């Protein structure tokens, strides 16, 4: 994020007050993990080729967390791509691979141009990527940089990202960001979320709805570790929302 981290008040320990929705999600993940321990489904046993998912995005895709006033940071093992892979393998077996290509601090413009953490423009990347599916989760850093990267600019780059992905034969899945607990969340972020939703409708793409769903939870702010990045509990919720959308697509690819 380009947010002034040092002004953020920390909540490193997540609240024990979780909503019923979050509790149900965690129970669902536990059930899937138990199923994986017992062995993959019969259908997965017939899959003899890998299904690769490219998870593109910012720090909230990477699984970034902080402590000590942003002086310490790390990638949680409970990052969404890792959890999504575990959930999909619980049903389909080990042939499903989810690659975590999230870059902390990245904007969609960075990804398109291949700068600020990326080694090459996205058009070059996707041309050689082995992925069948690409999930794209940007918007928060783009919103923070809204003076230089207005929603119209974000929209143009998202259109290009989608068309480059589809031109390379990839299935595109769009994902909304989670809400954050500072002023830009009310004034600016919804405009970028609206662009994501608009592009999903325009291109008839699968959409992982996170923003309003999480924002409707009475305790959502307690699920942010530093007012910006999710706690493990919220990362697990986000991963379950991903699974609900991506699993049917993987099932069709394996048929």
Q: Is residue 194 part of a domain?
A: yes
HSE, side-chain direction, 13 A CA sphere, residue 70: 13
Rounded to 5°, the CA angle 143-145-151 comes to: 50
Q: Say which DSSP state 63 is in.
A: T
CATH code at position 171: 3.40.50.1110
pLDDT tens digits for range 26-48: 444 444 444 433 333 333 334 46
Q: Is residue 80 part of a domain?
A: yes
- Largest pairwise CA distance in the chain: 53
The residues of the chain scoring below 70 in pLDDT are 1-48
User: Using CA atoms, how far apart are residues 83 and 216, in angstroms rounded to an integer?
Assistant: 23
Q: Is residue 7 part of a domain?
A: no
pLDDT tens digits for range 121-173: 999 999 999 999 999 999 999 999 999 999 999 999 999 999 999 999 999 99
Q: Is residue 108 part of a domain?
A: yes
Residues found in the chain: 255
Phi, psi of 114 (to 5 degrees): 75, 45
Domain that holds residue 112: 49-254
Count of structural domains within the chain: 1
Q: Is residue 216 part of a domain?
A: yes
Q: Is residue 159 part of a domain?
A: yes
Q: Which residues of 213-252 are buried (b: 16+ CB within 10 A; e: fewer)?
A: bbeebeebebbbbbbbbbbbbbbbbbbbbbbebbbebbee
How much is the pLDDT for 69?
Answer: 86
Phi, psi of 9 (to 5 degrees): -85, 130
Q: For residue 129, how far is the Cα from the chain centroid?
A: 19
């Amino acid at each position: 994020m380009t947010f002034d981290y040092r002004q953020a008040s920390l909540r490193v320990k997540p609240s024990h007050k979780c909503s019923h929705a979050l509790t149900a999600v965690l129970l669902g993940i536990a059930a899937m993990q138990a199923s994986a321990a017992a062995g993959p489904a019969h259908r997965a046993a017939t899959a003899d080729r890998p299904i690769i998912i490219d998870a593109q995005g910012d720090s909230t895709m990477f699984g970034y967390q902080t402590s000590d006033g942003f002086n310490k940071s790390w990638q949680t093992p409970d990052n969404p791509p890792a959890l999504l892979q575990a959930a999909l393998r619980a049903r389909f077996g080990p042939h499903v691979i989810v690659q975590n290509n999230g870059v902390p601090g990245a904007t969609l413009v960075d990804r398109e141009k291949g700068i600020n953490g990326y080694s090459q423009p996205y058009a070059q990347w996707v041309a050689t990527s082995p992925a069948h599916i690409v999930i794209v989760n940007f918007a928060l850093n783009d919103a923070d940089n809204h003076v230089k990267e207005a929603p119209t600019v974000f929209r143009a780059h998202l259109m290009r990202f989608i068309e480059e992905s589809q031109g390379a034969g990839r299935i595109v899945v769009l994902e909304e960001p989670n809400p954050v607990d500072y002023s830009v969340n009310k004034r600016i972020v919804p405009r970028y979320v609206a662009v994501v939703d608009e592009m999903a409708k325009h291109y008839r793409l699968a959409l992982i709805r996170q923003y309003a769903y999480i924002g409707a939870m009475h305790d959502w702010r307690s699920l942010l570790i530093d007012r910006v990045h999710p706690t493990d509990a919220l990362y697990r919720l986000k991963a379950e929302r991903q699974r609900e959308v991506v699993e049917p697509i993987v099932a069709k690819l394996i048929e």
